[in-house]
Amino acid sequence: MKARDGMYIGGQWRPARGPDTIAVVNPADEQVIAHVPAGTALDVDDAVRAAREALPGWAATPPAERAARIAALRDVLVARADEIAETVTAELGAPLQLSQTVHAGVPVLVAGSYAELAASYSFEEKTGNSTVLLEPVGVVGAITPWNYPLHQVVAKVAPALAAGCTVVLKPAEDTPLTAQLFAEAVDEAGLPAGVFNLVTGLGPVAGQALAAHEDVDLVSFTGSTAVGRQIGATAGGAVKRVALELGGKSANVILPSADLAKAVNVGIANVMSNSGQTCSAWTRMLVHKDQYDEAVALARAAVAKYVPGERIGPLVSARQQQRVRGYIEKGVAEGARLVAGGPEAPRETGYYVSPTVFADVTPEMTIAQEEIFGPVVSLLKYEDEDDALRIANGTVYGLAGAVWAADEAEAVAFARRMDTGQVDINGGRFNPLAPFGGYKQSGVGRELGQHGLSEYLQTKSLQF
């Protein structure tokens, strides 16, 4: 797609208030492919004003009509799926097949789920002598990350629209072209002017201005825990609602009764997908001591299939490449054993990192505690189930996880004891209707399905 040189505000593309731009780089070949405007507080102010003006009309629109508009938006995303996939591949570096199935495909499911939910959800409930009204929270400031550039946008915008809120989106600076495509889709779907607005820009400038804006009622942010803390503090200081979807260090717990080969292979695939740039990736593989050596051998064989530039793409930027290579060096320095990969770049051009597997990782090592956000898997050994649980729960995060066992009930019993927001049992599939979000420092609030919709609603009770 051709980059837009303006902001989408009040139903039209208009010039940015300032002259600065952001270069968009293709991480596979390091070439600049586009420039987009670097928005300022003035652009954010324009967008918030447009959203505020559009709010009364959109909030009063019958839910069935809002549902029809979201369905129309979904249909445009379906029609433009190839263009979306190519754009994601160009600015994120994801292999085209992944872009088609996941990056372009999943948002269609999520948008469709909210079209259905907006039509069927009861925005009113009776309790005793009261009627409780569920009303839109107001103007939403949505700040999204680069790792799933369309899914993360749709997972915020679709429920906000379904609830009757209006939105100002500030997408990640690394992947703004996908967000511009989404704005074009909103326009094509015929949403009323000002209901959705887009400001591209840098996080510390445009993102901070949006989070701090006095006319924004709720800030929904997905990204790092460090930035999430700042946004949460800003929102808390202004006494406004906040939803935070932050980091993860998810445990993949393989119980002794499990099909070891399947669990290891699926576990490696889970982390290699999207080059490990997934907050919910199962980056810690926990294996019983008696099966540990076999698991290490299986992991080494499994990761060999992920050839950089073929089955696995680059990281999004030079900065991320350096960060992940730094973590790999730290793993070696702290005594973990390299089974595959390492810090050396596997290709001369592009921000690639070698798919890496570490063995002999102990729970207190940096690579077992901090989110790496790259194709790096740590194998940890446990003595018994209680030890596995202690290791699994022994980080500041609690976003996702996995449990494998021959008996489903055994896996469920373990999963119930995990301090985490989602657990996949024996390789359970992604469900766009299930709530997604974390315990502990993985965040506040939930996305997707009914729980995701309720984030954008506030309650009023009428007594009779």
What residues are annotated to the active site? 245, 279
CB atoms within 10 A of CB 269: 16
Contacts of 428 (CB under 8 A, 6+ apart): none
Q: Give the DSSP H/E element, type plus range, for residue 103.
A: none
Strands 12-15 and 6-9: antiparallel
Cα distance between residue 355 and residue 459, in whole Å: 48
Q: What is the DSSP letter of 16?
A: -
Q: Rounded to whole angstroms, how far apart are CA atoms 163 and 409?
A: 37
**d(C-alpha 172, C-alpha 320), whole Å:** 14
According to DSSP, residue 314 is labeled: -
- The total number of residues shown for the chain amounts to 464
The DSSP bridge pattern shows strands 218-222 and 241-245 to be parallel
Count of alpha carbons within 13 angstroms of residue 331, beta-carbon side: 33
Structure tokens at 433: 């209707």
Q: What angle do CA 426, 328, 26 make, to 5 degrees?
A: 85
- Give the Cβ contact number of residue 274 at 10 Å: 25
The pair of three-digit structure tokens given for residue 87, joined into one six-digit string = 């754009």
Phi-psi map region of 16: left, alpha, beta (phi>0 left; psi -120 to 50 alpha): beta
What angle is formed at CA 89 by the lines to CA 252 and CA 279, rounded to 5 degrees? 25
Structure tokens at 332: 């070696």
Q: Are 157 and 453 in contact (CB under 8 A)?
A: no
Per DSSP, what are the bridge partners of residue 218?
140, 241
Q: Which residues pair with 131 in a beta bridge?
A: 126, 462
Q: How far apart are CA 363 and CA 396, in angstroms?
A: 12
User: Which amino acid would we find at residue 90?
Assistant: A
CA distances from 129 to 109, 132, 135, 181 (A): 39, 10, 19, 48
Q: How many CA atoms lie within 13 A of 305 on its CB side?
A: 10
